[in-house]
Amino acid sequence: KQEVTQIPAALSVPEGENLVLNCSFTDSAIYNLQWFRQDPGKGLTSLLLIQSSQREQTSGRLNASLDKSSGRSTLYIAASQPGDSATYLCAALNYGGSQGNLIFGKGTKLSVKP
Amino acid sequence: NAGVTQTPKFQVLKTGQSMTLQCAQDMNHNSMYWYRQDPGMGLRLIYYSASEGTTDKGEVPNGYNVSRLNKREFSLRLESAAPSQTSVYFCASSENLRSPLHFGNGTRLTVT
């Protein structure tokens, strides 16, 4: 059964710092991996989706990488801003099983201090 | 752009009461989902609908029923609410099962 882990659970950085959020998964037979952002009291917003055949995806200051062999994905945020403060979740979609079942990590709560 | 709209935003039920959570999307997506989010447990899939006319169980379907009313709407029903169903419920949609998910803002449900 796929398990997705995000460490650390919380992270606090000063504004302007480049940072990396980590996501690990136990079953490498994934179809894709998605990164989301969740603001307090809100739903999730999709940030990036990496197909299993891809190594990375970029959107603005965000870059997500995928290494299936090691069971890891990272989300790189460049030049962090207070507006980046939120909880970031990753989720893996596996081949087989329940086709609709994205397995989510519990998230990393990011705080960017001015 | 409305995206995914969920109603109600908040609800308090007594044990044994029933209710239906409504979800509608205006993006012409084929697939729709219901998740619950609990502290320490993360997001877990309750039911999903790959396309209009189909529904399938997710990880935690017990105590829930769903209806894909049409392409736009996917409702979640609690027939006899229990305190263990206190949670935040999110509806989501996507173009297909392998596309990025778009989430609503959630329904906060408390069962006393």
Please give the biggest Cα pair distance in chain B.
38
Instruction: Round to whole Å and give the CA distance between A4 and B54.
Output: 28
Question: Which of A4, A62, A98, A108 to probe by mutation at the B interface, max B CB count within 10 Å?
Answer: A98
CA B86 from chain centre, in angstroms, equals 13
Report how far residue A29's alpha carbon sits from residue A95's, in angstroms, rounded to the nearest whole number: 6
Helix residue ranges, H only, A2-56: none
Q: Is the per-residue pLDDT at B83 higher than 70?
A: yes
Examine the pLDDT at B2 and tell me if it is beyond 90: no
Mutate to test the interface with A, among B36, B60, B74, B101 (most CBs of A within 10 A): B101
pLDDT tens per residue across span B3-57: 999 999 999 999 999 999 999 999 999 999 999 999 888 899 999 999 999 999 9
